[in-house]
Structure 1
Amino acid sequence: MDSLLLEVAVHAAHDVAGAIEGGADRLTLESPADGADLSPDLAAAGATLRESDVPVRIMLRLNDSFTTTGGEFNRLVGLGEEYLALGAEGLVLGFLDADLEVDTETCRALTAALPGVPWTFHGAFDSALDTRRAWRDVVGLPGLTAVRTGGSSRGLAHGYDELLARCQESPEVAALAMPSAGLVAEQVPWFARAGVTQFHLGPQARPGGSAKAWVDASYVRSWRSLLDDL
């Protein structure tokens, strides 16, 4: 089996050392705010990128909903360009429409404005009304390399069986799926056998799962060892 990618969410430059020392292959930078992960300011982005010698993707999201407006869209493009100029390897974004379907039009427009940039569809994906249709909608989106998912809006504690089944039946889904919300160690071998090659750590990388705790190298290392043993 090829090496499995381990991605770790960081909130600031102080999280970088623990993530990299623990064996993270890629980082995502996001700023927690009132229960939503939003875009960090440019100073935080620059400081984090200077600390990291592994690829960093940065959250491109300005409000706590999964939609955007025309005016905000222009701000997202500009912010994305600034993150990339600072050295970001890619971006994290995603939109749903009023019917809770993947807003492919907005996703395509934004990625067309930032051509050639690899990106991850964030957890908005799990709030789509019809997940089977949502997977059909995202497969083939330009630049998309990962979908951060728990298989359900309530995370893998509820969505594990469904997500595993989709990965087993569809190589295209397995290639994009990046299990995240509520991921536990026991689930990893089953996902790997189904063809999943990337995994995301959020609270799992922090003592007590607290956003106030810094990313801990020993926590990350335990996951790195698990993936390497496979």
Structure 2
Amino acid sequence: MSTRAVLEVIALGPEDAVAAQAGGADRLELVTDMAADGLTPPVEVFARIRAAVAVPLRVMLRQRDGFAAGDARALVRAARELRAAGADEFVLGFLDEHGGPDLRAVELLLAELDGCRWTFHRAVDHCADRDALRKQLADLPGLDTYLTAGSADGVDEGLPVLLAEAARRGEPGYTQRLMVGGGLRLGHLPALRAAGVDAFHIGGAARPGGWTAPVSADAVREWRTAVDA
């Protein structure tokens, strides 16, 4: 029996979440401040979204634009508050000054998450060596997904990398799910689906009116249909 592909949608608040769920989203990524490319939302916003929808929620742990961790202890406090409010899935990813994974910051957070499932986000698209990063992170507890465009410049540029990584599924460092997002367009789906990619992430594509407008259930439904085709 085949399992349908995962469609994850960015939600900034309950209105987004309800529309995304109505359109067929399987999971939501919760963030605030898209001008900074998505930061940790207030715990009160998480609680309102959690009360509004039944789909799984992955909450961003990120305090500032860019991929440096900043104050790791503040991130741990945020994670603790979110977990106390019921959050049990997360999104995170930090790079050090050399472009490698900031293992100290990641491991501090993972100690607080205590086995929760999490996504390493698009920091992978900005690192010095993708393959080395994957192998360094391979055995971290709870890591089940990489969110990636294959390139810092988006899926248009990164498609060959994504297809190559999809072909390595199951190798050491490549057992986690490949979730494609970052400039993803409907036209990319046929090649990605043919390569076995089974997870997709959209943000602006779910908002025809731009980031100041809410998620459109119809836009999400169009993606749901295309992903399932």
2:90 matched residue in structure 1: 91
For 2:177, the equivalent position in structure 1 comes to: 176
- Equivalences for residues 61-80 of structure 1 within 5 A: 61-69=62-70, 72-80=71-79
Contiguous gaps of at least 5 residues in structure 1: none
- The 5 A counterparts of 1:140-159 are 140-159=139-158
- The runs of 5 or more residues in structure 2 that have no matched partner are none
Q: Is it true that 1:20 corresponds to 2:21 in the alignment?
A: yes
Whole-Å separation in 2 of the counterparts to 1:174 and 1:222: 29
Shift in Å at residue 187 of structure 1?
Answer: 2.1
Q: CA deviation at 1:104?
A: 2.7
Cα distance in 2 for residues equivalent to 1:192 and 1:174: 17
Shift of the alpha carbon at 1:213?
1.3
Distance in 1 between residues matched to 2:136 and 2:193, nearest whole Å: 23
Distance 2:217 2:150 in 1: 27
Equivalents in 2 of 1:157, 1:174: separation in Å? 24
Counterpart of 1:214 in structure 2 is 214
Mapped to 2, the partners of 1:37 and 1:146 lie a distance apart of 18
Identity %: 36
Residues 54 and 91 (structure 1 numbering): CA distance in 2 closer, same or farther, change over 3 Å?
same
Q: CA deviation at 1:174?
A: 6.8
Aligned-residue Cα RMSD (Å) equals: 1.7
| Aligned-partner Cα distance in 1 for 2:193–2:35 | 33
- Give the structure 1 partner of residue 123 of structure 2: 124
- The TM-score with structure 1 as length reference comes to 0.91
Cα distance in 2 for partners of 1:121, 1:175 equals 10
The alignment's TM-score, normalised by the length of structure 2, stands at 0.91
User: Partner of 1:34: helix, strand, or coil?
Assistant: helix
SS of the residue 1:171 aligns to = coil
Closer/same/farther in 2, CA of residues 41 and 34 from structure 1, 3 Å limit? same
Structure number with the higher helix fraction is 1
CA contact (8 A) 1:56 1:90 kept: yes
Give the distance between the partners of 2:197 and 2:145, measured in 1 at CA: 10
Cα separation, partners in 2 of 1:35 and 1:63, compared to 1, 3 Å = closer
Matched letter for residue 141 of structure 1: L
Going from structure 1 to structure 2, the CA distance change for 1:139 and 1:192 (only over 3 Å counts) comes to farther
May I ask how many residue pairs the two structures share in their alignment?
Answer: 226
Give a deviation string over 1:41-91, Cα, whole Å, max 9, x none: 12222211111111111111111131224xx22221121122122222311
Once structures 1 and 2 are overlaid, which stretch shifts more, 76-85 or 22-31? 76-85
